[in-house]
Chain A
Amino acid sequence: GESVGLHLPTLSVQEGDNSIINCAYSNSASDYFIWYKQESGKGPQFIIDIRSNMDKRQGQRVTVLLNKTVKHLSLQIAATQPGDSAVYFCAENKGGTASKLTFGTGTRLQVTL
């Protein structure tokens, strides 16, 4: 039978605007969160990470916010550029020293000119 792919939510943003990509995580025991960017035909590329003892972390043009109360993570991209067009995944590590990451379904970011 025909396989059904995951439905990827899509965020369309005009070049130069700010983007906010949201992610709900599942495990309150998770203590480490990462955002990855994946372009077509490539592997996920690390963007920024945050530990559960923080609620905000900033990088170059990106900011990650963590709200542990509602188990919500967001990625903010400032001055979005065409090169930011990709699928963005949040991933959580459910504690300890394991490297096992649980990924969200992803959000497709489309930057319009």
Chain B
Amino acid sequence: KAGVTQTPRYLIKTRGQQVTLSCSPISGHRSVSWYQQTPGQGLQFLFEYFSETQRNKGNFPGRFSGRQFSNSRSEMNVSTLELGDSALYLCASSLEPGRVAFFGQGTRLTVV
């Protein structure tokens, strides 16, 4: 069974631009969560989706948004990029909320 797939793996964007990251969960998993990982803040929860609904949101500005599609695939969007948004963005999927979460390889975003 394929693991969590995140695309693209690497991305370089300019300040002020926006970016969309994609996540395909493990087949059969219906819950998707997103995390941001930086050297300064560690791993921080962004949001969680289940059945196309956002169930939880972390303490991030409104520039960070996401959505989930009917096939459980998820995207996250960051608008008006700032240098501080440079990070590894990780997607995790689980069968349902509260079950063990499996992570993808992440998307490394660099904002210049």
Q: Which residues of A contact B (CB under 8 A)?
A: 3-6, 32, 34, 36, 42-46, 49, 89, 91, 93, 96-106
The count of A-to-B residue pairs whose CB atoms sit within 8 angstroms is 74
Q: Contact at A100–B90, with CB atoms within 8 Å?
A: no
In the complex, the chain B residue whose C-beta lies closest to that of A102 is B45
In the complex, the chain A residue whose C-beta lies closest to that of B91 is A43
Q: Contact at A44–B40, with CB atoms within 8 Å?
A: no
Docked CA distance A32–B105 (Å): 23
Docked CA distance A100–B99 (Å): 10
**Interface residues of A, dominant DSSP:** loop
Q: Contact at B40–A45, with CB atoms within 8 Å?
A: no
Nearest CB in chain B: distance from A27 CB, A = 14
Docked CA distance A4–B90 (Å): 21
Which residues from chain A contact B58 at a C-beta distance below 8 Å? 100
Q: Contact at B42–A6, with CB atoms within 8 Å?
A: yes
Nearest CB in chain B: distance from A94 CB, A = 10
The interface centre, meaning the residue of B43, B58, B99, B102 with most chain A CB atoms within 10 A of its CB, is B43
Q: Contact at B45–A43, with CB atoms within 8 Å?
A: no
Which residues from chain A contact B98 at a C-beta distance below 8 Å? 32, 93, 96-99
In the complex, the chain B residue whose C-beta lies closest to that of A45 is B103
Nearest 5 Cβ contacts at the A-B interface: A5-B39, A43-B103, A103-B43, A97-B98, A97-B97
